[in-house]
Amino acid sequence: MAFPALPAKERRRMAHTHRVGGDIDAFCTRCKMELGHTILAMVGPKPVRVRCNTCQGEHAYRGPPEKKKGTWVPAAERAAKPAVTSWDALLREKDISRARPYSAKDRYSTDDVLQHPVFGIGLVQEVRGDKISVAFKADVKTLVHGKS
């Protein structure tokens, strides 16, 4: 006796129907990985309590991680930090003898030359509110300025 084939729509619906006693992949809080679990309790069509088939631990159902809605942007798409390409080229037109000693209380503007007690001579490349990006010979550092 042969059973009539189910329509494709009905086969897809049945494939995604969960039931108590059925299997589901979930994040195990004890094993700390996504493993096969047995469904213990459901609320409507959603599983709420599961048992890990590996460690036998029971816990609330944790499905696959959802993408968080945030402002994260891949590093390749973020604005690049000002990079020191050539230290000599940056300071070629600047008068280093007039470098101001760095103080968090002083205010700086773009292209100011300053003398930092640890990092040495630096060139202010960007001003962002109470912070400045300063290019030093070794790296670009973010410093505070205008603090009372």
Residues 6+ apart with CB under 8 A from 92: none
Strand partners, 42: 47
**C-alpha 81: how far from chain center:** 17
The amino acid occupying position 137 is: K
pLDDT at 5: 65
Residue 139 DSSP symbol = -
CB 20 within 8 A of CB 41: yes
Give residue-wise pLDDT tens across range 64-92: 766 666 667 777 666 665 554 677 777 88
